[in-house]
Amino acid sequence: MPLPVPEGPEPDRWVRPLLVAARWAQDAAARRRARREPSGPSIWGPIHLGTAEDGRPIRVPLIYRNMLVAGEPGAGKSVGLNNIVAHAALSVDCRLWLFDGKIVELGLWRSCAERFVANDLSDAISALLDLQSEMDSRYAVLDDQRRRKVAPTDGVAPIVVVLDELAYFSATVGTKREQEAFSVLVRDLVARGRAAGVIVIAATQRPSADIIPTSLRDLFGYKWAFRCTTDTSSDIVLGHGWASRGYTAASVAPEAKGIGFLLAEGGVPRRIKAAHLSDEQVYALADRAARRRLAAGIAHGQDLEPVRWSV
């Protein structure tokens, strides 16, 4: 008895493999396009900082954490910071607030920053006050929802706050009162900001006890010590006792730019070399990040809007 013939034209046995091959080619082209135009990094993911001594890449998550970066002038702090700022700028799921007393270090990223504070202490204080009130409103919403911290599904963007040369604002310009107000605000953001999605990255050339008191240092989950002149100043960054155990940023040769010790909460300092972005690479990345931010509808150069939660 003959088998029933299915209805409709049967695809030619030669045509079917060609259709499948065409489909694969289409998929491969889509994958190539996706590689050329990746969706970009996210602030919820790890950030590439450089390489360890064994050549392995060092990537650390910064969400719910803060970082202290310190070391002598020219040691590589701003180059190290550039890796973090580049990642944050390209991550359209976060906001970027930059403070740079020197103006020109983080200034290259100005077009990506929601707020850029240059060498003006009263502007710095007013920006920190805005951040503090944003943090407080976020906590009010979290409290209302009986939750402890922001989550990626909230639609509330983490805010990456990068301060290059902390001591400029806390010990160099302005009156004692203003410097004190600045330091108190930074301390509050570092102490309370994490769960509200405020990530503070602070750098200083002066790893001295007046700039980084122990009580402030211990609030930073990550400490990154570039070359320091003495074991004591290295310990001020990494924590007391590390130098005597052989982990000291004073052991870094003066010509070894970009080498430092990175200590993550609860771990052991790791000697790493920060990735280096040339000025040309920074310009190109900053332009790309600014275009992405514009396309994503992220406002620049204005104060924070009221919190809008999607849950």
Ligand X SMILES: Nc1ncnc2c1ncn2[C@@H]1O[C@H](COP(=O)(O)OP(=O)(O)OP(=O)(O)O)[C@@H](O)[C@H]1O
Residues that bind Mg ion (CB under 5 A): 77-78
**x/- track of binding to ligand X for residues 233-262 (CB under 6 A):** ------------------------xx----
The CB-of-242 to Mg ion minimum distance in angstroms stands at 23
Stretch that binds ligand X, among 68-76, 142-150, 179-187, 213-221 (CB under 6 A): 68-76
Rule CB under 6 A: which of 75-104 touch ligand X? 75-79
- For residues 176 to 215, the per-residue mask of contacts with ligand X, x marking binding by CB under 6 A and - elsewhere, is -----------------------------x----------
The span from the CA of 293 to the CA of 297, in Å, is 6
Min separation Cβ 255 and ligand X, Å: 10
CB nearer Mg ion, residue 99 or residue 242: 99
| In the complex, least distance from residue 256 CB atom to ligand X, rounded to whole angstroms | 9
Nearest to 104 by CA among 300, 281, 279: 279
From 51-59, 73-81, 175-183, 240-248, span contacting ligand X (CB under 6 A)? 73-81
71 is in an annotated binding site: yes
Q: Which is nearer to ligand X, 119 or 137 (CB)?
A: 119
C-beta of 92 vs 274, nearer to ligand X = 274
Residue 80 or 221: the one with the smaller Cβ distance to Mg ion is 80
Residue 71 interacts with ligand X (CB under 6 A): yes or no: yes
Q: Which stretch binds ligand X (CB under 6 A): 53-61, 66-74, 135-143, 190-198?
A: 66-74
77 is in an annotated binding site: yes
> Is residue 276 involved in binding ligand X (CB under 6 A)?
yes
Q: Which long-range contacts (CB under 8 A, 24 or more apart) does 305-308 make?
A: 306/137, 307/134, 307/137, 307/138, 307/141, 307/156, 308/155, 308/156
User: Annotated binding site, which residues?
Assistant: 71-78
Q: Which residues bind ligand X (CB under 6 A)?
A: 71, 73-79, 205, 226, 257-258, 273-274, 276
User: Annotated binding site for ATP, which residues?
Assistant: 71-78
